[in-house]
Structure 1
Amino acid sequence: MSRTDRVVDGVTAMILDGRLGPGQRLPVEKDLADALGVSRGSLREGMRALAVLGVVETRQGDGTYVTALDPGSLVSPLGLVVELQAAGHALHVHTVRRLLETEVAGLAAAGARAPGADLGAARDAIAQGAAVLAGAQAAGADVDHEALLEADQAFHRALAELAGNPVLAALTDAMGGRTARHRLTRGVVEAGAEARTQREHEAILDAVAAGDVDRARIRMAAHLLAVEDFLQQ
């Protein structure tokens, strides 16, 4: 095991056994290096690795702290992995995204009828996409593909939040955000793809709002399979 790995594993163990908690300041550099049995140089390398992983953050002039350890921060590095994989394995990445978001749709439908459930953000995203398409048609102009992509991402993000699982929401956001360029390309080169996407979003939201878990999953799976079909072609 490298000294950097020893630092990462040591600090992680301190968090897991309760010696360090979210938002808590780490011991001063000399004491922590001694406790972990590494040099200060190795400790700094380990801290940089932990910072990239979203586990710690350095505050200028105030030391190093454990982050809030929220799923979004911890899953964030996965986005880079997804982006790099997508260069040669785009279809594989989108398949994983479909599996995750199919479950998101089911969970969102299951929770849609619960007290306090709010579909407002999803409906707003649907309305945003519809407005972009209608505006282009009325003006006889090209569709604003970037604006439609923003509406697309907002819709999927809203469903992930509605699913009520912050880890799943963070994973789907990482997968969806880093694969967006493939959906943008499809919208540009495949005639009618964006209008179909809009209709599919509306059908998914209808199923979610009705609390129809099976229909929501099927609608989402079919929706995302269309992107995979495009990539295969």
Structure 2
Amino acid sequence: MALTDDAIARIRSMIQSGELPPGTRLPTEQQLSAQMGISRSGVREAVKVLEAARVLDVRRGDGTYVTSLAPRLLLEGLGFAVELLRDDTLLEVMEVRRMLEPVATGLAALRMSDSDLDELEKILDDMHDAADDAELLIQYDTAFHRTVIAATGNETLTSLLDGLSSRTVRARVWRGLIEGNSAHITLSEHEAIYRALCARDQLLAHASALLHVNTSEAWLRTVLSTSSDAPPTG
């Protein structure tokens, strides 16, 4: 295991130094083994780990390449990791989302194009049509926020929030099923965000998004602390 860790560190160092820039084909397993003074099995295991982390792309019959190292690739596993967190740490995820999403929404108010706003309006109309279908409403809710965050043009921020939001989807669905008036609340909060974005009002967009996240967090805090009927984690 120590040899594998050493091989991972060595390959990572080669990438960070620019010796192996994005898109570059790695030397063969045998060459890397000789170059690093590490067994071929250690190099092989290191490549597997870095492939799983989306740092390397193993192309059968062609070779192993450094990926684009784009945030969407490197942070792809975040959502999966967050999904495995226990309920008692779910609130921590919501707290992080509360720190990031309102700021991102405020930034989007300055950067959204007219076509982005048109798309957002259509999603909002779809949300109204799905007001009685909790599962479908959540799908549109997710699309709404992805559209807003993507409009910031910050791929790292978009990937982070996409990963963090995946763990809260089940909780949001339960909110829709348990609280009879949650659809109305959700729609009015999204309308407020949309109006602030249309007005290009950064502070209002920030405040509207903060209120929306706080509503979800407050509900979840109550459920986890007082109810035995907590949202499923699977």
Structures share a fold, TM > 0.5? Answer: yes
Whole-angstrom CA distance in 2 between matches of 1:27 and 1:122: 47
Which secondary structure state, in structure 1, belongs to the residue aligned with residue 108 of structure 2?
helix
Alignment match, 2:46: 46
Alignment match, 1:120: 118
Name structure 2 gaps, 5 residues minimum: 223-234
Check the 8 A contact 1:107/1:164 in 2, yes or no. no
Alignment of 1:20-99 (within 5 A): 20-99=20-99
Alignment of 1:100-119 (within 5 A): 100-112=100-112, 118-119=116-117
Which digits, 9 at most, give the CA deviation of each residue in 1:82-125, with x for residues without a partner? Answer: 1222433111111111111111111101223x7x7732332232
Which digits, 9 at most, give the CA deviation of each residue in 1:9-67, with x for residues without a partner? Answer: 22221112211122221111111122222211111111111112111111111111111
2:184 counterpart of 1:195: yes
Which secondary structure state, in structure 2, belongs to the residue aligned with residue 25 of structure 1?
coil
The one-letter amino acid of 1:42's match is G
Which digits, 9 at most, give the CA deviation of each residue in 1:141-184, with x for residues without a partner? Answer: xx222211110110110011111211001101111123211111
Alignment match, 1:179: 168
Whole-angstrom CA distance in 2 between matches of 1:99 and 1:121: 25
When residues 33 and 123 of structure 1 are mapped into structure 2, their CA distance, relative to the original with a 3 A threshold, is farther
2:150 counterpart of 1:152: no
Check the 8 A contact 1:117/1:162 in 2, yes or no. no
2:207 counterpart of 1:218: yes
**RMSD between superposed Cα atoms in Å:** 1.7
Check the 8 A contact 2:116/2:147 in 1, yes or no. no
Whole-angstrom CA distance in 1 between matches of 2:27 and 2:147: 39
- Taking only the aligned residue pairs, the percentage that are identical comes to 37
2:150 counterpart of 1:161: yes
Residue 68 of structure 1 and its aligned partner are, at CA, apart by 1.5
Residue 4 of structure 1 and its aligned partner are, at CA, apart by 2.0
When residues 53 and 149 of structure 1 are mapped into structure 2, their CA distance, relative to the original with a 3 A threshold, is same
Check the 8 A contact 1:157/1:169 in 2, yes or no. yes
2:220 counterpart of 1:227: no
Whole-angstrom CA distance in 2 between matches of 1:122 and 1:14: 43
Alignment match, 2:230: none
Whole-angstrom CA distance in 1 between matches of 2:119 and 2:29: 45
Whole-angstrom CA distance in 2 between matches of 1:97 and 1:153: 14
Runs of 4+, deviation exceeding 3 Å: none
Whole-angstrom CA distance in 2 between matches of 1:128 and 1:37: 59
When residues 86 and 151 of structure 1 are mapped into structure 2, their CA distance, relative to the original with a 3 A threshold, is farther
Which secondary structure state, in structure 2, belongs to the residue aligned with residue 61 of structure 1?
coil
The one-letter amino acid of 1:215's match is L
Which secondary structure state, in structure 2, belongs to the residue aligned with residue 174 of structure 1?
helix
Deviates more, 1:94-103 or 1:80-89: 80-89
Instruction: Provide TM-score, normalisation by structure 2.
Output: 0.89
Name structure 1 gaps, 5 residues minimum: 134-142
Whole-angstrom CA distance in 2 between matches of 1:87 and 1:6: 35
Alignment of 1:123-138 (within 5 A): 123-133=121-131
